[in-house]
Structure formats: C-alpha cells, structure tokens
Amino acid sequence: MMYLRYMELEKVSKQLKTLGNRTRLEVFRQLVRFGPAGAPVGVVQNALDLAGSTLTNHLQKLVLVGLAHQERKGTQMICTADFDAMQTMIEYLQEQCCAEIYKDGGE
C-alpha cells in the first residue's frame, strides 16, 4: 500500500510540475475546454495563437505525464485532455483536506 501511495505521489508531482509552466497550463486548460472529443492540433494552435513547434513541445510533455492524448484520425491529429487523470490528480490533492485540523486549547 505504501508503495502505491508513493507511486501516486510521484505521478501527481510530475503532473503538477508539468502544469507549472504557464504555456502548458494554458494548453491543458484549452484542451479541457474542448471537452472529451478534443480538437485538431490546428484548432488548438489557433485558439492559443502558438507556433506549431511550441505547441508540439508542450503537448508532448502533457502526453508524457498522462494529462493529454493525441490520436490520428484521417489526416488530422486530435488532441484531448485526459479527464480521468485530471480527476485523479484533484482527488489526490483533496483527499486529506481537513484530516488533521488543529484546535488550539484542545477544543
């Protein structure tokens, strides 16, 4: 069990580090706005006004940590946020909320 918690901590840590870059955070938020169906790379690029190589670099990093996916459909590359990974990350951050509230004076 401890090993699994450590692995989860490592994964969430890498995801948060990746989202710590302003441009990557903007890319991820845009993918979330497009919803589960995602959008073609060109649409993402236009929405964010990014150079193609810049977008590719940031998408690769999001894919590497499991926050996004890319899938070829015909001639288009469709980019999607991984909503399950996002939810897992949020739940990890919330799971211990208020678990050890300190009450001064033993109240």
For residue 49, the SS3 value is: coil
- Tell me the pLDDT band of 105, cut-offs 50, 70 and 90: low
Task: Tell me, yes or no, if the pTM score tops 0.85.
Answer: yes
At 7 the pLDDT is 82
How does the average pLDDT of the chain come out, rounded? 92
* In contact, 28 and 44? CB cutoff 8 Å: no
pLDDT tens profile 29-81: 999 999 999 999 999 999 999 999 999 999 999 999 999 999 999 999 999 99
Q: What is the rounded CA–CA span in Å between residue 79 and residue 48? A: 14
In whole angstroms, what is the distance from residue 74 CA to residue 91 CA? 35
